[in-house]
Amino acid sequence: MSTTDGRLAVVVLVSGSGSNLQALIDAAASPASRFCITGVISNRPGALGLQRAVAAGIPTRVVDHTLFPDRHSFDAALAEAIDGFSPGLVVLAGFMRILTSDFVGRYAGRMLNIHPSLLPEFQGLHTHRRALEAGVREHGASVHFVTDELDGGPVIAQVRVAVKTGDDEASLAGRVLAREHELLPQVVGWFASDRVALRDGRAWLDGKALQEPVECCA
């Protein structure tokens, strides 16, 4: 749960480039950081995120979902890999697999996800495209506790990004991603400092139930 120096042990799950992972690696390198990344796991053997972890000296594991006959057997193998690192927190940072209820329950209250929208808007995939199609003036990203509902767990904090005239999916995604790199380490740091908790199905910060997500990283 904690490393030998008292910092929170964090395992990060990735499926792709791992830019949010890199933001966490950079934050954890600070002497003031309250967390340490003890392992990185991917469901894709070629994920760039694994290379980022290796470059930072972080142990990695691959649990290739294509090698399992069903979601439950994959989740069981994934849980075994996670538990091998004895984490106090599991972070989904671009991990593109839907997880079973049993798996989510195993890490209830200590698993966070970052999602590229202002939840509850645009749960699921293609959030930037859908935001543009909906004509919203603000878009952004959210960090939330993971529950059985896809992208539906209690939201802890969000960042907002203005949608500009002439934006396309790529330009909007790029600006949101840059803010994600600020948001995720901030919330993981709060969790590591015992400021954030999941209680009675709600997100709490500093001993108070959140009525709405915190506007972060302004």
Calpha distance 99→149 (Å, rounded): 10
What predicted TM-score, i.e. pTM, was given to this entire model? 0.96
Backbone phi, then psi, for 129, in 5-degree steps?
Answer: -60, -45
Residue 22 maps to a domain: yes
Predicted pLDDT at 4: 62
Judged by DSSP in three states, 13 sits in: strand
Residue 206 maps to a domain: yes
**Percent of the chain residues topping a pLDDT of 70:** 98
Task: Show the domain range for 58.
Answer: 8-215
Predicted pLDDT at 141: 98
Give the CA angle between residues 165, 168, 174 to the nearest 5°.
105
Calpha distance 47→57 (Å, rounded): 16
Domain total of the chain: 1
Residue 35 maps to a domain: yes
Q: Which of 31, 25, 92 is nearest to 59 (CA)?
A: 25
pLDDT (tens digit, 9 = 90+) per residue, 30-77?
A: 999 999 999 999 999 999 999 999 999 999 999 999 999 999 999 999
Give the CA angle between residues 108, 113, 119 to the nearest 5°.
110
Residue 3 maps to a domain: no
Calpha distance 159→139 (Å, rounded): 8
pLDDT at 146 over 70: yes
Mean pLDDT of 128-154: 97
Residue 181 maps to a domain: yes
pLDDT at 218 over 60: no
Mean pLDDT of 164-185: 97
Q: Which residues pair with residue 160 across a beta bridge?
A: 140
Residue 105 maps to a domain: yes
Judged by DSSP in three states, 17 sits in: coil
For residue 33 the two structure tokens come to: 């950081």
Task: Indicate which residues carry an active-site annotation.
Answer: 115
Mean pLDDT estimate for the chain: 96
Calpha distance 80→64 (Å, rounded): 13
Pairing of strands 89-92, 8-14: parallel
CATH number at residue 17: 3.40.50.170
Predicted pLDDT at 5: 84
Residue 130 maps to a domain: yes
Predicted pLDDT at 2: 62
CA separation (Å) from 45 to 126, 133, 173? 23, 34, 25
